[in-house]
A and B are shown apart, each in its own frame.
Chain A
Amino acid sequence: MAAVARKNLHLVLSNELSGAFNLLLQQGVRVVCRPGCTLGELLSGQWGIDAEYVSRRITTLFLNCRAIDDVATAHVAGGAVIALSGAMPGLVGATMRRGGFYAAMRGAMTYREGVAGEENQVDWVRVKLFNLILPELGPGFLSHGIIMTAAELLAFITAREFPAGCFTAPPAIDGRLQSTGELEESLALAGEEEVHLTVEFKD
Chain B
Amino acid sequence: MDRIARIDMGAAGGPKVTEEPVGQYAGLGGRAMTSIVVATEVHPLAHPLGAENKLVISPGMLSGTTGSMTGRLSVGCKSPLTGTIKESNAGGQAAQVLARIGYAAVILEGKPEGDDLYKIIINKDGIKVEVDNSLKLLDNYPLIEKLRQEYGDKVAYMSIGSAGERLMLAASIACTDPELRPTRHCGRGGVGAVMGAKRVKAIILDDEGMKMRPPKDAEKFRDANRKFVEGLRKHPVTGEGLPAYGTNVLTNVLNEAGGYPTRNFKTGVFEGGAKLSGEAQAELETRRGGNPTHGCHRGCVIQCSGIFNDENGNYVTKQPEYETVWSHGGHCGIDDLDAVARMDYMDDNFGVDTIEMGVTIGVAMDAGLAEFGDSAGAIRLLEEVGKGTPLGRVLGSGAEITGKVYGIEKVPVVKGQALPAYDPRPIQGIGVTYATTTQGADHTAGYAIATNILKVGGDVDPLKTEGQVELSRNLQIATAAIDSTGMCLFIAFAILDQPDTFQALLDLLGSFYGIEMTGDDVVALGKKVLSAERDFNTRAGFTKHHDRLPRFFYTDPIEPHNQVFSVSDEEMDTLYNW
Contacts and interface: CB of A to CB of B under 8 A. Distances in A.
Contacts of A87: 235-237, 241, 493
Interface in A75-127: 83, 85-96, 99-109
Interface string B251-263: 0111011110000
B277 interface: yes
Given A104-B468, A131-B245, A90 B426 contact: no
B491 to A, nearest CB: 11
A94 B496 contact: yes
Contacts of B462: 69, 99-104
Interface residues of A, number: 41
Interface in B484-499: 490, 492-493, 496
B230 interface: no
A180 B241 CA distance: 37
Contacts of A101: 451-452, 460, 462, 496
A188 B399 CA distance: 48
Interface stretch (B62-70, B184-192, B389-397, B441-449): B441-449
B252 A91 contact: no
A101 B458 CA distance: 12
Contacts of A141: none
A105 B256 contact: no
A89 B461 CA distance: 21
Main DSSP-derived SS at the B contact region = helix
A104 B461 contact: yes
Interface string B443-478: 100111001100000001111111110010001000
Contacts of B236: 57, 59, 86-87, 132
A19 interface: yes
A67 interface: yes
Nearest to A85: B253
B444 to A, nearest CB: 9
Nearest to B565: A107
B342 to A, nearest CB: 21
A88 B274 contact: no
Interface in B405-460: 422, 426-430, 433, 443, 446-448, 451-452, 460
A107 B468 CA distance: 9
Interface residues of B, number: 58
Interface stretch (B45-53, B278-286, B543-551): B278-286
A89 B252 contact: no
B493 A94 contact: yes
A108 B490 CA distance: 27
B252 A65 contact: no
A60 to B, nearest CB: 6
A108 B446 CA distance: 21
Nearest to A83: B256
A89 B277 CA distance: 14
A57 B460 CA distance: 25
Contacts of A85: 252-253, 256
B475 to A, nearest CB: 7
B275 interface: yes
A91 B447 contact: yes
Contacts of B259: 92, 109
A88 B249 contact: yes
Contact of A89 (B422, B433, B490): B490
A92 B268 CA distance: 14
A23 B461 CA distance: 37
A90 B447 CA distance: 7
A15 interface: no
A104 B464 CA distance: 6
Contacts of B154: none
Interface in A122-150: 128, 130-132, 134
B254 A92 contact: yes
Contact of A109 (B241, B427, B433, B496): B427
A104 B250 CA distance: 19
20 contacts: A22-B280, A23-B280, A65-B256, A67-B257, A85-B252, A86-B240, A89-B492, A90-B447, A90-B448, A91-B429, A91-B447, A92-B254, A95-B430, A96-B253, A101-B451, A102-B448, A102-B462, A105-B428, A109-B258, A109-B561
Given A94-B496, A101-B451, A105-B429, 8 more contacts: A65-B257, A87-B493, A108-B426, A108-B465, A130-B253, A130-B279, A131-B244, A131-B245
Interface of A: 19, 22-23, 26-27, 57, 59-60, 62, 65, 67, 69, 83, 85-96, 99-109, 128, 130-132, 134
CB-based closest 10 A-B pairs: A105-B429, A94-B448, A103-B462, A26-B274, A91-B448, A130-B252, A101-B452, A83-B256, A87-B236, A27-B274
